[in-house]
Amino acid sequence: MSIGELCNREVVVIAPDASIDEAVRLMREYHVGDLVVIEQFGAERVPLGVLTDRDIVVEVLAEAVDSAALAVKDVMSAPLVMAREDEELADLIARMRSHGVRRVPVVNLQGGLEGILTVDDILELLAEQMNGLAGLIRVEQQRERERRAGS
Q: Which of 9-23, 74-88, 136-150 has the lowest mean pLDDT?
A: 136-150
Residue 138 lies in a domain: no
With a cut of 80, say whether residue 53 has pLDDT above it: yes
Residue 147 lies in a domain: no
Closest-CA residue to 106 (of 122, 84, 76): 84
Name residues whose C-beta falls within 8 Å of residue 83's C-beta, 6 or more positions apart in sequence: 3, 7, 92, 95, 104, 105, 106, 107, 117
Contact predicate 40/111, CB 8 Å:
no
Domain count, the chain: 1
Residue 127 lies in a domain: no
Residue 11, Cβ density class (10 Å: 0-12 exposed, 13-18 middle, ≥19 buried): buried
Residue 19 lies in a domain: yes
Mean of the per-residue pLDDT values of the chain: 91
Contact predicate 16/37, CB 8 Å:
yes
Residue 101 lies in a domain: yes
Residue 136 lies in a domain: no
With a cut of 70, say whether residue 151 has pLDDT above it: no
Report the pLDDT averaged over residues 78-103.
93
108-150, pLDDT tens digit by residue?
Answer: 999 999 999 999 999 999 998 888 888 888 888 888 888 888 7
Give the domain extent around 52: 3-118
What pLDDT score does 94 carry?
95
Residue 9 lies in a domain: yes
Global confidence as pTM: 0.83
CA-to-CA separations, 112 to 1, 66, 71, 115, 143, in angstroms, rounded: 21, 33, 23, 9, 50
Q: What is the CATH number of the domain that holds 101?
A: 3.10.580.10
Report the pLDDT averaged over residues 97-113.
95
Residue 17 lies in a domain: yes
